[in-house]
Each structure stands twice: as structure tokens, then as C-alpha cells.
Structure 1
């Protein structure tokens, strides 16, 4: 994340220049090139960082340590080789040719292929991203941000609740039953317990107290869902279910 100097420094810069309209871009442009301290003698080293800096940058000139890294760390060397081959125009062991027809990737040719509004948006905005995500099944790992006062963020909580609703309704459709709060409360609560436990294993909560609080809120949401679904017209029968987020 980019950082900027304190607003106090910006104000001082405006006073020095006599121009109250100057912004951060003008301030940063006026700053000289950054300099750092590299100790040149062993008796002036403060910690191990200074020692390493003195070794890789003697006489204020940084050395190329790639060869030393490749020699001492075989796994990193393999990564460097892979990067070099990927950047080359020649096809090597890190490239390949995918041999499959439209029946695997085309939503029209393959009628049973799941589609959603978000997938269509992805296909329209970036076909290559769609190809990676939904054809090859390659997705970047989720970035989890630790919050000491919260277990699930809004998106993940919505995903969890959506999954409980979906699994519960699929079960009712198989049984050809309509939603009855008194009859089905125990079923949806059990389904909720199972799915919440799976999420707890994947995303450890910051504390047991916060976990129980958010779990109770999810369970209350399930009761609201049952009450709302029970008011549906008698001739309304769930048929298709949205793809999970």
C-alpha cells in the first residue's frame, strides 16, 4: 500500500514555497533522491541487517546476488529457471497445449454447464479471466484479513447462509415437502450446525465468544427464512437453485 508523508510536512512545504495550493504530488516531486546509511566497518554494525547490507553493498554499490542464491538454494534456482523459460519466446516444459473442444467450455454447446450473472459479467469484461477461473478452474487464493472483533466478513457470512438455505431447500424438494417452521426448524438448524462447523475449520475465529455470537445470529436468520418461506403460495414449488457464490 502506498504511503505518504504527514500532512504537517505538506503544510510546512506550502509555507516554505509560499503557495497554499500545492498538493502531495508537488511535494514528492520536490523531494531529493532517497538515501540510506550503509555501515562500512564491522565495528559499526548494529544488527544482522547491517551485516547483510555491508556484504551485498560494499563501497555503496549493490552486488548481484542471484548466482549466490542459485548456488545455495536449489528450490529458488528452479523457480528462477522457470521464470526465465516462461519469459522466453520458445515453448518449454512450463508451457503446454490444451486439447479440448467447445463441448467443454462453451455454455451453449454444453447445456449442462452452470452459468450465472456474475459469470456472464466476467466473460464480457475479461474472457481470459473467465477461461482461467471457470474452464481451467484456476483461482487465486482467498486473502483472509484477521479482525480480532469479527469472525466472518459480510461476503463470507452471506456465502455461508446462502449455502445453508440451498442445501435445506434441495432436501425439501427431494421429499416433496413444503416449508413448515415447526416441522423443519430442527432440520435446518442441524444443516446450519454442519456447515458452520466446516467454515470454522477453514476460517478459525478470533475467539470462542465471537464465534458463538455470530453463530447465534446465523441461527436467528434461519428462523426468519423459515417464517418467510412458509408464507409462499401453496402452488409455488422450488425448481432450480442459484450457483453458490
Structure 2
């Protein structure tokens, strides 16, 4: 089935999120109470509230926010051209989440709203796509067609997920993107941060550029993994164009 998909119609993406405030103690009383209820099965007493917050707030759309969305698409070589496929990347990153999301929505509305376009992420169906949609609604932004899935049948939703593809119907385990890249022998550049560092880099170092670089590398890894799953060759580093 994957070999029938037009690569040039897929928008690959990854997001980076952080808590809306850095420290649990900064929350107002109502928000703190609601957070504790939301994470009640993780709570182990008041002394652990800050720890639970730092580990979970950023991945919950109700208590986190998006600071970067990186996207990538594949260009196939034109007829008669010897060189292979190339990857082009673009990132939306901003301290103002509403601005970031409006710019991303414009991209989807302008270029990825036709029925043949697809979105692809790793664990995108469980995390990236719903997180973006929820934050758009919270910010009063109309959902672009690729994210407006209410009432659609499963086969009408144009979302691809490399984690789901790898599961082959087995829902017992989560397999990370770095692990799949490792077993498929996909070269990935070493980075100086991980997902666990994003909130610290954002709030303590105020370094959105560093987060953007990290996010774009994940998009490259995602695309290369999809190509492997599709049975295609990898894109050479010299043919990857970062924003």
C-alpha cells in the first residue's frame, strides 16, 4: 500500500511542547487543582506535585503549549535528472503560540487541504495531530481541513503514523523513533538535547533556535524511516535543506 502513496503529497511533521508555566508553584489555585485531578494516578503526595508537573504538563494540551512545529516534504527528481530525492524543511517557532499556530494553519489551508494530501508523524495520531488541533481550538483558530476530523470515518482521515505502521496491529508496545532509526540503520545526527530538555532550554536559556534545530532533525529521521518502510533509498545528507 505504501508504494502507492505519492511522497510529494505528504507533509511530515514533529512538534515540541512545554508547560504553560515553568514551575508548578506558578499555577493559580484552580489550575493546580485541575492538574492534580488530571494526573491523579501519577500523584504520590504533595511533595511530588512539582515533579509530576514538570514531567507531564508539557505533554498535556490543557496545561502545555507548542513552541515549535517543524515540517518537511520530499521532492522527487524530475524526469531526466540524475540526482535523487531531496528533503526540504521549514519550522514555525515563536514565543506567541497563537502566531505560530496561525502560520501553520495557513500552510495547511494553502497547500495540504485537498483530499490527496496527508500528514505524517511518529505517534502523530496519538500526540502531534490532536495536540495541535486542541491548541488551535484553545487559541480560537479554525481547524484546517487536515485536522478537522469530526464525523469522518477512519478511512477518510488522511493521517499516516510510522509508529502505527510499525505495530502491524499490535498495540502492546511503544517503539521510539530513535530505536527504529537504529534498527533500520538510519544515520541520525547526534544532538545536544533530548525531549526532556526542551522545557529547560525554553524557559532557562530562552533558546528557541536550539529547539528548532532539534525538532527539524526529528523530522528528517521521520522521513528517512518512512522511506525505509516504503522500500525506498534514503536521502543523502547533501540533499537535505534545513530552514
Normalising by the residue count of structure 1, what TM-score does the alignment of the two structures yield?
A: 0.22
Which one has the bigger strand percentage? 2
Q: Which has the higher contact order (CA 8 A, sep 6+)?
A: 2
- TM-score in terms of structure 2 length: 0.22
